[in-house]
Structure 1
Amino acid sequence: MKTLSLFLSIALLGLSPQSCTNTPVDDSAVNTIELDIKSQQLIEGDNAFGLELFKAVNASLEEDKNLMLSPLSTSLALAMTYNGAEGNTKSQMEETLHKAGFSSQEINNAYQQLVAALKSHDSKVDLSIANAIYHRDDFQVNSNFISTNQEYYQAEVEALNFNAPEASKKQVNEWVNDQTRNKIEKIIDSVSPNDVMYLLNAIYFNGEWTYRFDKDQTENRTFYTEGGNELQVPSMMLEEVPLNYASTEQFELLELPYGKEKYSMLIFLPNKNHSTNEVIAGLGSAGLNELLGNLHQRNLKVYFPKFEFAFETSLQDALNTLGMTDAFSPMLADFSGISNRSDLFLSEVKHKSYIKVDEKGTEAAAVTSVTVGVTSIGAEPVFNVNRPFVFAIREKDTNTLLFLGKVNNPLRHE
């Protein structure tokens, strides 16, 4: 039986202040993103799906492991696949992805608008988003499926000789490596005889801090793990600057802006009697929006650990948990919009990510939405990230969540 394999790759890079785009951008350029109602509703749905997926993956995570996902990248890869779904498979994808009530045309139009706006938004942030479809050269793909993904997702499409598996694997992995600036070297380990198609999404983020940390102030400081261990971790220091801050009964929230402050990292630091898992369990898009509305400016000194790690997981179990079951069933899947064949199903949804945070900038993010809206002021003007935390990277005009993650151990690289 043939299988349709969906793969997802993500990388966040944020070390160099120079843009890696081919066209020079005026440093003064900054735009305000204005989207129509349908596009705004789609982003709300993406954020809700991303938070649910984040919770599901976190629930299966081994203790002490770091985690990072990209809600946007996952949604884009699955949206391309959705263009080929029919029947109950399509309905389940709509419910899981929070797209019920949208037409396919509205979904495609909204993503086309959003991606174009995000990529040209801030000259101090290099954000590239790329899609590709590689399929077996003797596999008949419906022309409408190809043309739709080319028009709305700018997907590169190429037929490969899967009977030469090493050459095909090399070409797919080279695309991933190129799109992620050599940070993710490969996404597939082998080309199976039953594979007929790979759908790929790659996101690269390179953001320079608005307020850069001073390298001379970086030194080893104690980091307390949730298991009770004490680690000596290279930690950065930022002298008092005006930053957005809020707090709840469970955690403190700090916003560190990038570039011209259109993108930012949200840091959710659990209070000492709470854990990262409790924070993540309480996340929801409505609560997060309320919390972000309660952010207020405060002069704070910040201590923040440097970290770098890669993350890899299969999303199949998490998507099954969220209700997208038929797509993975050889007997129930309906992807007749991709091909006239009746034996297509998803054999894998693979997710890889990479992040590095240092004095210049960052390439990772985490999303947290909290229902508690209580705001309070601490006694000391210090935000000391000396224990496990949750993080998110977002675009502020649209509140799009690009990345979600948590750091249990800053010294762990996977």
Structure 2
Amino acid sequence: MAMLLGQGLESLCKPGRGVLQGGCASGNTTICLGVAGFCVTRPWFCDIYSSIGRAELKGIKKMYLEVRKAVPVWSLMAALLLTACAEEAAPPVDDGKVSIESYTGDKQRTSPEALLAAAAIDPAPAHQAFAFDHFRTHSGDGNSLTAPFDVQQLLASLVPGASGETLQAIATAGGWASLEETALAGLSLWEQRIGDLGTVERQRWLWGQAGYRFDRDYLRTQVELFDPELAGLGFRGDFPSARAAIEGVLDDRLALDEIDDRSRLVLAQSTRLQAAWVEGLTLEPFEGRFGEHEQQRRVPMLRISGELSVAEGEDYRAVAVPLAEVGLSLMVIIPAPDAFDAVRGRLDAEFWRRLGEGLAPTQATLPLPVFSLSSNLVDDPNLGIAQREDAADFSPLNGAGFLYLEPLRQALELQVDEAGLNAATVTAAVHTATRDEPAYLFDPSYFSFSISADISGYADLVTMTDSAPCYDPPDQRPFLFAVYARDTATLLHIGQVKSLDGPPVAADWTVPRWTACGDSPPVEIYRYKCSRQCAFDSGTPYWAMEQILTDAGIDVLDSGEGTDGKEYLQVCDGPDGVINVFTIHEDQLAEAEALGFRLLSELTGQ
């Protein structure tokens, strides 16, 4: 009771806050100190309060001794009610506020196309810039998984409740230049198109404290633009059933273990994706080698063959594998040896645009590990002032404010196997009340809640089996990947796979590999045809030529650029005699020659 009195006095007397807006600065407004009608001027009462500082528990006794000098004890006891005499203490009956459980507005979703009629909004550029920045922020040295589309859509759903600098902080975090109604409509329409894909299931929820007085226009905007399920829950009154209501929807993935009486509202959404590989592809399971150098592991893999879209750059090869759901693809970007960090550092919207332009359908083979990733993140996408208790402005949400934002929470899972691709994401944001929140924001039934999640860290990774006798070149190196919708240029997931669990591939680095493994001696070869041989003129990097050999089942022991190609100067008119040189087993030379390769020792001038 002492704490309740202290909080009531603080909200009453703090300038600009409290039950009577304006606090002590509003002149001679009187305050009733008891049912007998004994009233005092507010400046007099607040001066006493201010003289003893903030009304914490340890200060209640001193406040009692000060006030009893001026008012009877019976009036002081009645003052616990803190009934305001001014008319402004009681909000008007019809003030545009409504609790979630009593909201009966039109729940038919308004078509965003109508709002977009006068303004062409293309969310893709801002989305892609945000997506790759978000991925780089959350991808470290190990395996990583992100869902930027879900994070950005959740940020968009925070917009209707924000104002002033808080609104701008959300706009900056989401990567938007404009947050007008047409921009929100564009984001909504964009989200609908993703939800229209048959194998993508999108759901949204808005849980609010039962009896909390939300602004009616705020709830209407949420329903019309984002179409969430609305539910008012009284956690303190019925804790078990309220907790079960949220955990049942989120499938326990956000670990809703704690209830906090200062949380007021939870916005949450989920995305589930289950897509098979497109018909016509050949899938051959095998046990392969994944990783680079001494990090290689024996892991289950798929050899995916058929018509794929392929693009090659200076230090990477990209392969887009279509999924059975029309419009969805899995992009696998394979950096050259020791070039992973360089490629990841350039991964942005412009890189993605050029990559898309360079994709060409071709008959190809992609060795792809079977893998699964899961991440649990507490994300803070530079929201700044929106997360400050003393500065956040979410006044459109309830007409008053007194709220700030907790860090976003997200749980992600993704699996790739012979059946296809499965992914699930849950993302949530919690609005928490400030300490000086006034009582008039509640109906008398004051129950409140919050969620918290112990979901820090990054990916939990896959289990692989079996062993190998010695080192062999990998069937696949560490790679980046993206699950994306082609028509809307939407990046549902971005991730990287750098290591997989499994028995290490044994390697004896002190003796030649062919001796340790009992293989035939090595030979050096180069690509005979000039247009393919010349590293400078053709623009085909050595590692891309290496892929030609690897796809044919030829073990490449070593690869690189050599400067002893004297014929290169004469035939290709090049400046420095650089050619691409590869080391293979002698017993595979005939297969390499069938692909246009020749022994380096046969090169004229050697």
Shorter-chain TM-score bucket reads 0.7 to 0.9
Q: Give CA-to-partner distance per residue, 1:342-380, whole Å, 9 cap, x none.
A: 321112201110111111211359xxxxxxxxxxxxxxx
2:310 is paired with a residue whose SS is: strand
Cα 1:213–1:310 change in 2 (3 A) is: farther
Q: Give CA-to-partner distance per residue, 1:104-134, whole Å, 9 cap, x none.
A: x11332133223322334xxx5111111111
Equivalent residue number for residue 345 of structure 1? 404
Which of the two has greater strand per residue?
1
2:289 alignment partner AA: T
Q: Within 2, Cα distance between the matches of 1:391 and 1:97? A: 22
Q: Within 2, Cα distance between the matches of 1:214 and 1:293? A: 26
Q: Within 2, Cα distance between the matches of 1:260 and 1:348? A: 34
Cα 1:348–1:225 change in 2 (3 A) is: farther
Cα 1:385–1:165 change in 2 (3 A) is: farther
2:407 is paired with a residue whose SS is: strand
1:89 to 155, 166, 182: 166
Which structure exhibits the higher relative contact order, with contacts defined as CA atoms closer than 8 Å and separated by 6 or more residues? 1
Equivalent residue number for residue 299 of structure 1? 363
> Do 1:214 and 1:236's aligned partners in 2 also have CA atoms closer than 8 Å?
no
1:92 is paired with a residue whose SS is: helix
Q: Within 2, Cα distance between the matches of 1:312 and 1:212? A: 36
1:409 alignment partner AA: S
Q: Within 2, Cα distance between the matches of 1:42 and 1:36? A: 15
Q: Within 2, Cα distance between the matches of 1:246 and 1:51? A: 19
Equivalent residue number for residue 400 of structure 1? 490
Q: Within 2, Cα distance between the matches of 1:196 and 1:396? A: 38
Q: Give CA-to-partner distance per residue, 1:123-178, whole Å, 9 cap, x none.
A: xx51111111111113222111111111111101111012144433321121122x
Equivalent residue number for residue 28 of structure 2? none
Give 5+ residue unaligned stretches, structure 2: 1-6, 8-115, 425-473, 503-606
> Do 2:275 and 2:422's aligned partners in 1 also have CA atoms closer than 8 Å?
yes
Q: Within 2, Cα distance between the matches of 1:346 and 1:102? A: 19
Cα 1:256–1:168 change in 2 (3 A) is: same
Equivalent residue number for residue 260 of structure 2? 192
> Do 2:481 and 2:494's aligned partners in 1 also have CA atoms closer than 8 Å?
yes
Q: Within 1, Cα distance between the matches of 2:319 and 2:117? A: 29
Query: What do you get for the CA RMSD once the two structures are aligned?
Result: 2.5
1:218 alignment partner AA: P
1:297 is paired with a residue whose SS is: strand
Give 1:308-347 correspondences, 5 Å limit.
Answer: 308-316=372-380, 319-320=381-382, 324-347=383-406
Q: Within 2, Cα distance between the matches of 1:223 and 1:347? A: 40
Equivalent residue number for residue 233 of structure 2? 160
Cα deviation for residue 257 of structure 1 reads 0.5
Equivalent residue number for residue 333 of structure 2? 268
1:218 is paired with a residue whose SS is: strand
Equivalent residue number for residue 290 of structure 1? 354
Equivalent residue number for residue 116 of structure 1? 192
Give 5+ residue unaligned stretches, structure 1: 2-34, 178-183, 366-383
1:219 aligns with 2:286: yes
Q: Give CA-to-partner distance per residue, 1:366-414, whole Å, 9 cap, x none.
A: xxxxxxxxxxxxxxxxxx86222111111111211111111223449xx
Q: Give CA-to-partner distance per residue, 1:55-85, whole Å, 9 cap, x none.
A: 1122xx4x43x22121211111111111111
1:210 is paired with a residue whose SS is: coil
2:194 is paired with a residue whose SS is: helix
Cα deviation for residue 86 of structure 1 reads 0.4
- Bigger shift: 399-408 or 94-103? 94-103
2:415 to 352, 356, 363: 356
1:133 alignment partner AA: L
> Do 1:213 and 1:237's aligned partners in 2 also have CA atoms closer than 8 Å?
no
2:125 alignment partner AA: E
Cα 1:250–1:38 change in 2 (3 A) is: farther
2:353 is paired with a residue whose SS is: helix
> Do 1:166 and 1:190's aligned partners in 2 also have CA atoms closer than 8 Å?
no
Cα deviation for residue 213 of structure 1 reads 6.3
Q: Give CA-to-partner distance per residue, 1:327-352, whole Å, 9 cap, x none.
A: 11111211111123432111220111
1:41 is paired with a residue whose SS is: coil
Q: Within 2, Cα distance between the matches of 1:211 and 1:202? A: 28
Equivalent residue number for residue 373 of structure 1? none
1:140 aligns with 2:213: yes
Q: Within 1, Cα distance between the matches of 2:244 and 2:280? A: 39
Q: Within 1, Cα distance between the matches of 2:249 and 2:348? A: 35
Give 1:33-52 correspondences, 5 Å limit.
Answer: 41-52=122-133
Cα 1:147–1:411 change in 2 (3 A) is: farther
Cα deviation for residue 194 of structure 1 reads 1.9
2:167 is paired with a residue whose SS is: helix
1:238 to 301, 304, 307: 304
Q: Give CA-to-partner distance per residue, 1:222-242, whole Å, 9 cap, x none.
A: 11158x422111001123x12
Equivalent residue number for residue 251 of structure 1? 316
Q: Within 2, Cα distance between the matches of 1:294 and 1:204? A: 30
> Do 1:39 and 1:111's aligned partners in 2 also have CA atoms closer than 8 Å?
no
> Do 1:133 and 1:199's aligned partners in 2 also have CA atoms closer than 8 Å?
yes
Which of the two has greater helix per residue?
2
1:113 alignment partner AA: L
2:203 to 118, 130, 137: 130
> Do 1:213 and 1:359's aligned partners in 2 also have CA atoms closer than 8 Å?
no
2:406 is paired with a residue whose SS is: strand
Q: Within 2, Cα distance between the matches of 1:242 and 1:212? A: 8
Equivalent residue number for residue 209 of structure 1? 277
Equivalent residue number for residue 181 of structure 1? none
Cα 1:312–1:113 change in 2 (3 A) is: same
Q: Within 2, Cα distance between the matches of 1:222 and 1:292? A: 29
Q: Within 1, Cα distance between the matches of 2:324 and 2:345? A: 31
The TM-score with structure 2 as length reference comes to: 0.53
Cα 1:364–1:41 change in 2 (3 A) is: same
1:77 is paired with a residue whose SS is: helix
Identical aligned pairs, as a percentage?
A: 18
